[in-house]
């Protein structure tokens, strides 16, 4: 321990507690010196903190896949951001879209017409095959094959 009462092990634990934590965040959390945190980062071969925005996903599909997990029965659970109402939303570059619309686009290769509804009845399922747009619902209602 040093005069601040913080051990090197405590600093190292704070640096490893989260992905890409800044030296300044550790300084503020533990009340130790910035140079000491930087020295411990260097001593243990930890990569330097990168300021600013993190790298974005390479594609819309990559962003969607990274924020979902498969569930039994062919369903897909959304693990990403949600609106206050609970609706799953995907932010990618300048796009802000519901996860349902993105799932539909990825599944059918076209933008949905009108609102997208789940066909499986499982709340918040974002599996592409479980999404239907207005023309698909109208065709189903009329007894026609889906679009």
Q: Per-residue pLDDT tens for 112-130? A: 999 999 999 898 899 999 9
Domains in the chain with CATH codes: 1-54 (1.10.10), 60-141 (no CATH)
Q: Does the pLDDT at position 146 exceed 80?
A: no
Q: What is d(CA 9, CA 21) in angstroms, rounded to the nearest whole number?
A: 16
Nearest partner of 14 among 4, 26, 24, 1, judged by Cα: 26
Q: Does the pLDDT at position 147 exceed 80?
A: no
pTM, to two decimals: 0.62
- The per-residue pLDDT for 45 is 85
How far from 34 is each of 25, 26, 37, 46, 105, CA to CA, in Å? 10, 8, 5, 15, 48
Q: Per-residue pLDDT tens for 56-76? A: 788 999 999 999 999 999 999
Residue 5 binned pLDDT confidence (cut-offs 50, 70, 90): confident
**What is the torsional sign of CA 30, 35, 41, 43?**
negative
Q: What is d(CA 4, CA 30) in angstroms, rounded to the nearest whole number?
A: 9
Biggest CA–CA distance in the chain, Å, is 79
């Amino acid at each position: 321990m040093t005069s601040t009462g913080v051990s090197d092990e405590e600093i190292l634990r704070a640096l490893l507690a989260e992905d890409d934590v800044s030296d300044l965040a550790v300084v503020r959390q533990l009340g130790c010196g910035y140079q000491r945190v930087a020295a411990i980062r260097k001593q243990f071969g930890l990569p330097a903190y990168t300021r600013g925005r993190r790298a974005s996903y390479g594609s819309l599909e990559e962003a969607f896949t990274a924020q979902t997990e498969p569930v039994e029965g062919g369903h897909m659970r959304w693990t990403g951001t949600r609106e206050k109402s609970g609706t799953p939303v995907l932010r990618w570059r300048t796009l802000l879209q519901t996860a349902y619309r993105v799932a539909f686009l990825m599944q059918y290769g076209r933008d949905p017409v009108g609102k997208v509804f789940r066909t499986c009845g499982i709340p918040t399922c974002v599996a592409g095959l479980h999404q239907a747009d207005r023309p698909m619902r109208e065709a189903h209602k009329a007894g026609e094959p889906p679009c």
